[in-house]
C-alpha cells in the first residue's frame, strides 16, 4: 500500500492520468455500484407500485423458495454443464484455427479464411439464432442433408440431446475467427529465426508447431483461460433464450434464463432478484478460487 505522503506525490506527478480515470470511476459507480442497492428487494415481497420503501420485508423467504423450487437443481446443473462444455470445446477452437492458419503459406488464401471466419461475429445474435432455428426445423437445411444421406427428418430443436451440440457448434461458428485474432497476433511476434534454426536441425512442420508455435502461445492461452474460469457461470443467456423452448428446458434452462422468466414474465421481482444474488455469490466464489489456484501455479493473479 502507498502511504499518504507517497499518494499525494504520485497524484501530483500523474495528475492528468488521475483526471482521465474519473469518467471510468463515475461509470462504474453509476452502473455497477448504484444499482446494487436494489438487491434489497431480494429480502422483500416487492411490489413496483409500493416501491422499495413501502414493500413488506420477508427475510430469507425468497431464497428458501428457490432452494425448494422443483427447478433448482436443474438450473444449477445446466449452468455448470453449459459453461463446462464451452470451456472444453469453444475455448480451444480458436487456438486450433490460429495454429492451422499459421501453417498456410498462400497469403491470399490465409486472408480469405480469416475474413470468412470472423465475419459471423458481426451478425447480431437474434439473426444467428433465427438462422439456426430455420436450419433445425424438420424441413430445414440440416434435415435436408440428413435426408439426402438417408436419415430420418426430425425437428432438432425439440430434442434434448441436440441442444448442446447446436449451442456449442453455432457458438464456435460465430466466434472462432474473432477469437483467433489475439492468437494470430501473438504468433506474429514469435521470432522467425527460431523456425529457421529448427528447420536446420531437421524439425518437420508438426515438430515446429509443437516445439515453437505452441510454447509461444502458452502465456496468452493461460491468461485467457484464467479470465474465462473467473466467469464460469457466465453462459450465453441471450442465445439460450433464443434457442430453447419448453421441450428443452430440461437441459437448457440456466440460472440467468430462469431469473429472466421469473422477473420479466411472471413479474416475481423479489424472487428473481434473490436468484440473481445467489448466482453472483457462486460467481464470486469461483473468481476467488480461480485466482488462488492461478497464484499457486505460479501465474500472476487478478488481485
Partner 1 sequence: MRREFLKRIFGVTLITALAMGTVACGSTDGTNTAEQSTVNVSEESSQTISTQESENSEEASADITYPLQDAEKLTLWATTPGIASIYSDYTESPYHMGLQENTGVEVEWTFPALGANWKESYNLLLTEDTLPDIIAYSINVSAAQLLAQDGVIYDLTDYIPKYAPDYWEYLNAEGNEAVLKAAKSEDGRIYGVRTSVETELNPTYIGPVIRQDWLDELNLEVPVTLVDWENVLVAFKEKYNAKLGFVKGKWNMGIASGVNAQAGLSAEYYVDADGKIQFANAQPEWKESLEVLHKWYEMGLIDQDSFTMNDDALRTKVLNNEIGVSITAMSQLTNWCLDAEKQNPGAVWVGMEYPRVAAGVPTSRIQGGNRSGSFVAVITKECTEEKMITALKWLNYGYTEDGFMYQNFGTEGTNYTLDSDGKPHWTDLMKNDPDGLEQAIIKYTGTYSSALGGIQSTDMVLIKNHETAAEAVYKWAQNTDNSKYLLPSLAMTDEESLVITDVATPIKAYVGEMALKYVLGEASLDDFDAFVAELDKMGLQKCLDAYQAAYDRYLAR
Site string for partner 1, 17-36 (x = CB under 8 A): --------------------
Q: Which of residues 46-65 bind partner 1 (CB under 8 A)?
A: 47-50, 65
Q: Which of residues 62-121 bind partner 1 (CB under 8 A)?
A: 65, 69-71
Regarding 299 and contact with partner 1 (CB under 8 A), the answer is no
Regarding 207 and contact with partner 1 (CB under 8 A), the answer is no
Regarding 40 and contact with partner 1 (CB under 8 A), the answer is no
Regarding 10 and contact with partner 1 (CB under 8 A), the answer is no
Regarding 164 and contact with partner 1 (CB under 8 A), the answer is no
Out of 64, 218, 267, 285, point to the residue binding partner 1 (CB under 8 A). Answer: 267
Report, in Å, the least distance between residue 131 CB and partner 1: 10
49: which 3 cell numbers?
A: 407500485
Q: For cell 501473438, what's the residue? A: 186
100: which 3 cell numbers?
A: 492451422
Regarding 246 and contact with partner 1 (CB under 8 A), the answer is yes
Regarding 265 and contact with partner 1 (CB under 8 A), the answer is yes
Buried/exposed 180-199: b ≥16 CB within 10 Å, e otherwise: bebbbebbeeeeeeeeeeee
Q: Report the residue number, 10 or 250, with the smaller CB distance to partner 1.
A: 250
Report, in Å, the least distance between residue 270 CB and partner 1: 10
Region class of 39: left (phi > 0), else alpha (psi between -120 and 50), else beta: alpha
> What is the dihedral angle through the alpha carbons of 289, 290, 295, 297, rounded to the nearest 10 degrees?
110
Stretch that binds partner 1, among 153-161, 203-211, 214-222, 280-288 (CB under 8 A): 153-161
Q: Report the residue number, 130 or 204, with the smaller CB distance to partner 1.
A: 130
Give contact residues for partner 1 (rule: CB under 8 A): 47-50, 65, 69-71, 126, 129-130, 133, 137-139, 153-155, 157-158, 160, 238, 241-242, 245-247, 249-250, 260, 264-268
Amino acid at each position: 500500500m502507498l502511504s499518504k505522503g507517497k499518494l499525494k506525490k504520485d497524484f501530483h506527478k500523474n495528475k492528468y492520468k488521475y483526471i482521465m480515470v474519473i469518467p471510468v470511476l463515475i461509470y462504474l459507480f453509476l452502473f455497477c455500484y448504484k444499482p446494487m442497492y436494489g438487491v434489497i428487494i431480494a429480502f422483500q415481497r416487492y411490489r413496483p407500485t409500493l416501491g422499495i420503501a413501502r414493500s413488506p420485508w420477508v427475510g430469507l423467504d425468497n431464497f428458501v423458495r428457490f432452494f425448494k423450487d422443483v427447478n433448482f437443481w436443474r438450473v444449477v446443473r445446466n449452468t455448470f454443464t453449459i459453461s463446462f462444455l464451452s470451456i472444453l470445446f469453444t475455448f480451444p477452437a480458436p487456438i486450433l484455427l490460429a495454429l492451422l492458419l499459421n501453417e498456410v503459406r498462400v497469403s491470399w488464401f490465409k486472408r480469405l479464411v480469416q475474413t470468412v471466419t470472423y465475419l459471423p461475429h458481426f451478425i447480431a445474435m437474434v439473426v444467428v439464432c433465427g438462422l439456426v432455428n430455420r436450419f433445425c426445423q424438420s424441413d430445414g437445411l440440416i434435415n435436408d442433408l440428413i435426408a439426402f444421406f438417408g436419415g430420418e427428418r426430425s425437428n432438432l430443436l425439440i430434442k434434448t440431446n441436440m441442444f448442446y451440440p447446436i449451442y456449442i457448434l453455432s457458438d464456435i461458428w460465430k466466434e472462432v475467427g474473432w477469437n483467433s485474432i489475439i492468437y494470430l497476433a501473438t504468433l506474429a511476434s514469435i521470432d522467425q529465426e527460431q523456425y529457421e534454426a529448427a528447420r536446420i536441425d531437421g524439425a518437420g512442420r508438426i515438430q515446429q508447431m509443437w516445439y515453437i508455435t505452441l510454447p509461444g502461445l502458452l502465456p496468452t492461452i493461460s491468461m485467457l483461460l484464467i479470465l474465462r474460469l473467473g466467469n464460469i457461470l457466465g453462459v450465453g443467456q441471450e442465445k439460450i433464450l433464443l434457442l430453447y423452448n419448453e421441450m428443452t428446458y430440461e437441459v437448457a434452462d440456466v440460472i440467468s434464463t430462469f431469473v429472466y422468466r421469473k422477473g420479466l414474465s411472471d413479474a416475481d421481482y423479489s424472487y428473481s432478484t434473490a436468484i440473481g444474488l445467489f448466482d453472483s455469490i457462486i460467481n464470486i466464489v469461483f473468481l476467488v478460487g480461480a485466482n488462488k489456484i492461478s497464484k499457486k501455479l505460479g501465474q500472476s493473479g487478478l488481485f
